[in-house]
Amino acid sequence: MRETIAVKTIIDLRLLREVNEEGRRPLAADDGITYINAPLEMASTEGVPPEEVLNLLYRQCLASDSLVTAVKQIAESAGTPTVFHCAAGKDRTGVVAAIVLGLLGVEEDAIVADYMASAANMQRMVD
């Protein structure tokens, strides 16, 4: 029998517009769960050459005050089940995961491998 883990905190990295359009998800409605919206800005990429798009998006995430909010909340929630997510789970969530893993002392090769596993499974997640 699997043990159930009761999530205590949800950190939503989506923009308020995304939250309003898509909703807060079923777990976020639970009264026993703390919900925090820490939107990581994603710049408009209109007119940006395709090879520079990801670089621009990641730079914006790294400059966001919400990134500090998210990482601080994860640290404050240490020892309690915490979920953080964005819309797809690769870019904004990947940035936060990489920073948290790095702060925990995980080796860079393992962090990159973790990120690449998400990228390799992206189509399946979208489907």
For 66, the token pair is 């919400």
**Widest distance between CA atoms in the chain:** 53
| Amino acid 1: pLDDT | 67
- For the entire predicted model, the pTM comes to 0.83
Nearest to 93 by CA among 58, 56, 44, 48: 58
Given a cut of 80, is residue 119 above it in pLDDT?
no
The DSSP line for 43-64 is ---TT--GGGHHHHHHHHHHT-
Contact 22, 14 (CB under 8 A): yes
Nearest to 16 by CA among 44, 46, 36: 36
- For residue range 75-104, list pLDDT tens digits in order: 999 889 999 998 877 788 989 999 999 999
